[in-house]
Structure 1
Amino acid sequence: MKMAASVLLLLCAGATFADAADVPVYRAVKLDGAITVDGRLDEPIWRQAEVSRPFVLCESGEEYDPRSRQRSWAS
């Protein structure tokens, strides 16, 4: 029984880390000053922010095809 549980645990761990390389990582920039939340990205700090990749569907992993272009910035 312990052997079966150990094998099952190893299989689950392997499946968990198999897709880890495909997970996007975003870097949030620490702000030196304040930003104005007005819907415009014309402040200099936004030039340092990383733009996201296209959004994907959680269940299938396929790229989301919206009717309008969507992007996000992290800061």
Structure 2
Amino acid sequence: MLRIRCPWCGERDETEFRYGGQAVDYPADPGALTDREWADFLFVRDNPCGWWRERWVHSAGCRRWFELWRNTETDEVA
């Protein structure tokens, strides 16, 4: 089981959280994107081996969203 540290509530079991997907930066000028670029931003995500940035919500606690780094090979959380 993963142990995830909520920035507001401290370390908890992963069962208290819900995964929100890859953390991505919103486009600086979304109106300038083509339909294809916008679709890629909305629906296409990476699937790496190793460290990457994710979004989680503490659904059984403070209900706040936050980002963390997780290693997809070892499930180590930073």
Regarding TM over 0.5, the answer is: no
Higher strand share: 2
Structure whose residues are more often helix by fraction: 1
Q: What is the TM-score when the length of structure 2 is the normalising length?
A: 0.27
Name the TM-score, length of structure 1 as normaliser.
0.28
Q: Rg: which structure is higher? A: 1
